[in-house]
Amino acid sequence: MGRQNKQKMKKCYKKSIWPSALLFIIFLGSCVGLVILFVTAFQGFLIDEKIADIQEDAANLGRMIEFRMQKNNLSDAVSSLEEYMQEENDVCITDENYQILRSFRNHVPDFKRVENITIFESYRVVPELDPTQANGEQKLLITYRELLKRSLNALEHSNFEDPRWLEEPLFHTNYWVEVPIRLPGYRLYYRDSVTIFQKNVFYMNVAILVELLLLAIPTLLLFMNVVSSVAMQKRMVHLLYQDPVTGGKNWSYFLERSKKILCQLWNTKHTYAIVNLHMIRYQDYCACYGSKEGEELLKKIDGFLKISIGRGETFARFAKADFGLLLRCASPQQCEKRLKKMLVELTGVKKDKMMSFCAGIYLLRPAANWKRMQRRQIDIDQIYHFASAARGTMRGKEGEYIKIFDQQILQEQIWKNKVEETMEAALLNEEFQLYLQPKYHPVTEKIVGAEALVRWISPTDGMIPPNRFIPIFEENGFITKLDDYMILAVAKLQSEWKIQGRRQVPISVNISRVNFVKEDLAEHICHLVDSYGADHAAIELELTESAFFGNKDLLQKILKELKMYGFHISMDDFGAGYSSLNSLKDLPIDVLKLDMDFFRGDGAKQRGEIVVKETIRLAKALHMKIVAEGIERKEQVEFLAEQGCDMIQGFYFAKPMPIEEFNERVEREL
């Protein structure tokens, strides 16, 4: 992740805690406030709005009457009450059966009635009968809704210029409270009333409005905070999963998303394909058009894949111009077909620019017995590398652009890993051995040279032929170390022959094209050979044709220097793949080695002979020596002798052999 992204993420983290915490506190406070308000509001509208007063009054009254009645008789107590109540006359005394013994009121409720009795705390409250009401009923309680209705009704007829509208009563009720007295046989009732005015409702409404407003602000802020948190989280996820080059998704995203898809969506109907999509020669594209244009191209590819990928599928850039894809198809054939179409379409993402793509596929076939647990254990990264290994096996083969991973590739992959794990140790343990294949003169049939060929004698796998490890070394770069090792081995042998007074047979050493990026290659080789004091003229350096396709100027410079140091240069496998006749013209080549394919297959024998004949003529005209490789039959030797071929290397004369065996052969000729 870039520094900028890291800073952005830090900001996101810092921002998110405090506003939320503060808002939470405000919100909590408002909620508590609202609860208190509503509780008080609704309590206020109950008839026992002044319940505390009622209780206090009742208790005082009770104590007083008890005190009086203990000493005097009932009438004394009542007169004391009258005194106490003065003009209010709001007291009533009954016997234990609710029979009124003494009352100062005409309309006394029937205290026996149970249904109209409300109990507040331990106080029985009985509504007074309203003689003006048809059924004589009186309400003891009123709901807030009813109050609001009454308030609105009243407002309709109010004159707001007159401040008295606030004093308008909306609800009035009289009630009797039973005063608890500890006098057996007597009950004491005390009358009170409650009136709710327009102002009560008005102030209450204002309070509720203010509280709602107070609640709405933090709610709104909280909501905005939630929205911004979600946006921030999205931004963080975006930063975390963003590919810095394409701006699309990165590899971590691909791994996670693919796993999710396979765990959740994979059913028995679909085949999933993990694909390694690779642009061929991206490096060359960048070299041609510049790295900026290269990045532009990667963005275009990303854009193209975005459109091509459907739901339940995903993709991301892995590295350089390699993309990982998870495709869902009805069958393996459909996967291949779809990918083929994609590869063709991809070549057109940048008009008037030449490019080509290839892909390796790993198929995950539908399996009814795939359990979710098993799916979770799928290692997407490894599977992608299997797909990549499948793609790698094509190694630019003509007309082949898609390769499906199979068991053979797996074996190759395992082998490749093994080779890579053991190669360094093998070099130190001198498991790589120098074999020599003699080159013979076709007429004298005497040894005139030899080619140094490596053999890996492994303590576990026995003798490993070069085609099992050289391509791997060329891919991972280890070949340069092996080539140095072989040059040293040949130089050592040459100097030994010199010291021992033996014949110094010229030996050619294969130099992989991977080496031809080093500016100081000639100097380096010279240094290696000189470390044993071997004659430069006795050493020939073989380059395969593919080496001639790289940086031509550098190659020309290196070859010229090598020539200057006195080494001979040969072009190996001439005629295999794409021959560059131009190279013959421009480069200082001493020897041309005809590829063994010239001498394979009988079908076009005559035509093959013409090509060989003319190539030999061309080489001679350019003052080059000719070596024919892979000669296995006598008539081939005779034909080549006739054409003036200088050397023959092939099983007809000898196979590559250890040094001792080669020495014996040379001695036998003397």
Q: Which residues bind ligand C2E (CB under 6 A)?
A: 437, 453-454, 465-467, 470, 479, 482-483, 486, 510, 512, 542, 572-573, 629-632, 649-651, 656
Q: Provide, rounded to whole angstroms, the least separation between the CB of residue 433 and ligand C2E.
A: 10
Going by C-alpha positions, the residue among 234, 158, 263 that lies closest to residue 202 is 158
Q: Provide, rounded to whole angstroms, the least separation between the CB of residue 606 and ligand C2E.
A: 21
The two three-digit tokens of residue 622, written as one number? 């350019």
Q: Provide, rounded to whole angstroms, the least separation between the CB of residue 569 and ligand C2E.
A: 14
Pairing of strands 657-658, 432-440: antiparallel
Instruction: Decide which of Mg ion, ligand C2E, none touches 636; Cβ closer than 5 to 8 Å per partner kind.
Output: none
Q: Provide, rounded to whole angstroms, the least separation between the CB of residue 595 and ligand C2E.
A: 8
Question: In this complex, which beta carbon is closest to ligand C2E, that of residue 275 or of residue 479?
Answer: 479
What is the layout of strands, in order, in the sheet containing 100-103?
A: 100-103, 91-95, 186-197, 169-179, 123-127, 118-120
Instruction: Decide which of ligand C2E, Mg ion, none touches 630; Cβ closer than 5 to 8 Å per partner kind.
Output: ligand C2E
Question: In this complex, which beta carbon is closest to ligand C2E, that of residue 21 or of residue 428?
Answer: 428
CA 470 – CA 509 distance, rounded (Å): 14
Instruction: Decide which of Mg ion, ligand C2E, none touches 467; Cβ closer than 5 to 8 Å per partner kind.
Output: ligand C2E
Question: In this complex, which beta carbon is closest to ligand C2E, that of residue 94 or of residue 512?
Answer: 512
Q: Is residue 25 packed enough to be buried (19+ CB in 10 Å), middle (13-18) or exposed (0-12)?
A: exposed
Q: Provide, rounded to whole angstroms, the least separation between the CB of residue 490 and Mg ion.
A: 13
Q: Provide, rounded to whole angstroms, the least separation between the CB of residue 513 and ligand C2E.
A: 9
Contacts of 652 (CB under 8 A, 6+ apart): 631, 632, 633, 634, 636, 637
Q: Provide, rounded to whole angstroms, the least separation between the CB of residue 542 and ligand C2E.
A: 6
Q: Provide, rounded to whole angstroms, the least separation between the CB of residue 593 and Mg ion.
A: 5
Instruction: Decide which of Mg ion, ligand C2E, none touches 222; Cβ closer than 5 to 8 Å per partner kind.
Output: none
Q: Provide, rounded to whole angstroms, the least separation between the CB of residue 649 and ligand C2E.
A: 6
Question: In this complex, which beta carbon is closest to Mg ion, that of residue 243 or of residue 540?
Answer: 540
The position carrying tokens 């594209």 is: 285
Q: Is residue 167 packed enough to be buried (19+ CB in 10 Å), middle (13-18) or exposed (0-12)?
A: exposed
Q: Provide, rounded to whole angstroms, the least separation between the CB of residue 420 and ligand C2E.
A: 17
Residue 220, strand partner residues: none
Chain residues in the site for Mg ion (CB under 5 A)? 510, 542, 572-573, 629
The two three-digit tokens of residue 97, written as one number? 């059966």
The position carrying tokens 């309203």 is: 130
Q: Provide, rounded to whole angstroms, the least separation between the CB of residue 525 and ligand C2E.
A: 13
Are 495 and 504 within 8 A, CB to CB?
no
Question: In this complex, which beta carbon is closest to Mg ion, that of residue 175 or of residue 574?
Answer: 574
CA 212 – CA 309 distance, rounded (Å): 50
CA 69 – CA 479 distance, rounded (Å): 123
Instruction: Decide which of Mg ion, ligand C2E, none touches 479; Cβ closer than 5 to 8 Å per partner kind.
Output: ligand C2E
Residue 356, strand partner residues: 280
Question: In this complex, which beta carbon is closest to ligand C2E, that of residue 225 or of residue 512?
Answer: 512
Question: In this complex, which beta carbon is closest to Mg ion, that of residue 243 or of residue 629?
Answer: 629
Q: Is residue 119 packed enough to be buried (19+ CB in 10 Å), middle (13-18) or exposed (0-12)?
A: exposed
> How many other C-beta atoms can be found within 10 angstroms of the C-beta atom of residue 62?
18
Question: In this complex, which beta carbon is closest to ligand C2E, that of residue 359 or of residue 525?
Answer: 525
SS3 at position 509? strand
Question: In this complex, which beta carbon is closest to ligand C2E, that of residue 474 or of residue 561?
Answer: 474
Instruction: Decide which of ligand C2E, Mg ion, none touches 361; Cβ closer than 5 to 8 Å per partner kind.
Output: none
Question: In this complex, which beta carbon is closest to ligand C2E, that of residue 419 or of residue 453?
Answer: 453
Residue 664, CA distances (Å) to 438, 503, 508, 657, 667 in order:
12, 12, 19, 11, 5
Question: In this complex, which beta carbon is closest to ligand C2E, that of residue 479 or of residue 522?
Answer: 479
Going by C-alpha positions, the residue among 271, 247, 452, 279 that lies closest to residue 357 is 279
Question: In this complex, which beta carbon is closest to ligand C2E, that of residue 196 or of residue 507?
Answer: 507
Q: Is residue 118 packed enough to be buried (19+ CB in 10 Å), middle (13-18) or exposed (0-12)?
A: middle
Q: Is residue 134 packed enough to be buried (19+ CB in 10 Å), middle (13-18) or exposed (0-12)?
A: exposed
Q: Provide, rounded to whole angstroms, the least separation between the CB of residue 651 and ligand C2E.
A: 3
Going by C-alpha positions, the residue among 231, 243, 233 that lies closest to residue 2 is 243
- Note the maximum CA span of the chain: 163
